[in-house]
Amino acid sequence: MKFFLDTANVEEIKRIVKLGLVDGVTTNPSLIAKEGRDFKQVVQEICTIVSGPVSAEVIGTKAEDMLREAEDIATWAPNVVIKLPMTEDGLYATHALSQRGIKTNVTLIFSVAQGLMAAKAGATFISPFVGRLDDIGTDGMELIRELRTVITNYNFPTEIIVASVRNIGHVEQAAIAGGHIATIPGSLLPSLWKHPLTDIGIEKFLSDWNKMQA
């Protein structure tokens, strides 16, 4: 399973890259806005830190605007991926870009039908949002299991990015469900390697060791 970082915070990315845990990065307009920095500058900086795919999202809602933005973004770095919304215009742009060999990530996917449409249109990645589905009282992870079945049934080359990940359970269940990638907020990632019993164990080993030295 691959791990992407769901952040536009360069310091966070630099810290976690050193642990060998970052296979790519996803950003969105909300995450970019949070940094208060120039969009192109942030994306280019991230692309130099991480060699894997880095998603940068278009703002336009009309296909021609999406394509104009995508053509520009695609020149920013060799590993940049164009993130597009799951709409008819988004599908049009996804298809056009895939025919030109430009990688895409179709975002805001909330149903099997939407995932299937994006895969058919030639999306490199699809991003189902598990946390936001849980928020409305449905089982977000069920969508991951179903999408994985669809992708395997028809050998689509599309990879599932499990997005809107909010807790350790989401990451564990995404791996069990066969999500190809989980995109994880930088603030959540440390909780994946921490456990209170590990801390208690270290403390006990050290105190026993120190008693022997005394």
Indicate if 83 belongs to the active site: yes
Tell me how far, at minimum, the Cβ of 183 lies from ligand G3P, in Å.
5
H helix intervals, the chain: 10-17, 29-35, 39-49, 63-73, 88-99, 112-121, 130-135, 140-153, 168-177, 190-193, 196-213
Site for ligand G3P in 155-214 (CB under 6 A): 163-164, 166, 183
Half-sphere exposure (CA, 13 Å, Cβ side) for 148? 16
Question: Structure tokens of 12?
Answer: 């966070």
Shorter beta-carbon distance to ligand G3P: residue 21 or 96 = 21
The yes or no reply on residue 6 touching ligand G3P (CB under 6 A) is: yes
User: Which residue stretch of 12-20, 40-48, 72-80, 129-137 sits at the interface with ligand G3P (rule: CB under 6 A)?
Assistant: 129-137
**Per rule CB under 6 A, count of chain residues that contact ligand G3P:** 10
Shorter beta-carbon distance to ligand G3P: residue 101 or 137 = 137
2: helix, strand or coil: strand
The yes or no reply on residue 9 touching ligand G3P (CB under 6 A) is: no
Among 2, 120, 132, 180, binds ligand G3P (CB under 6 A): 132
Q: Contacts from 77-80 at CB under 8 Å and sequence distance 24+? A: 77/43, 77/44, 77/47, 77/48, 78/47, 79/47, 79/50, 79/51, 79/52, 79/53, 79/54, 80/43, 80/47, 80/53, 80/54, 80/55, 80/56
Site for ligand G3P in 139-158 (CB under 6 A): none
CA distance 88 to 202: 54
Among 8, 22, 25, 28, binds ligand G3P (CB under 6 A): 28
The yes or no reply on residue 105 touching ligand G3P (CB under 6 A) is: no
Shorter beta-carbon distance to ligand G3P: residue 52 or 131 = 131
Residues labelled as active-site residues: 83
Binding residues for ligand G3P, rule: CB under 6 A, are: 6, 26, 28, 129, 131-132, 163-164, 166, 183
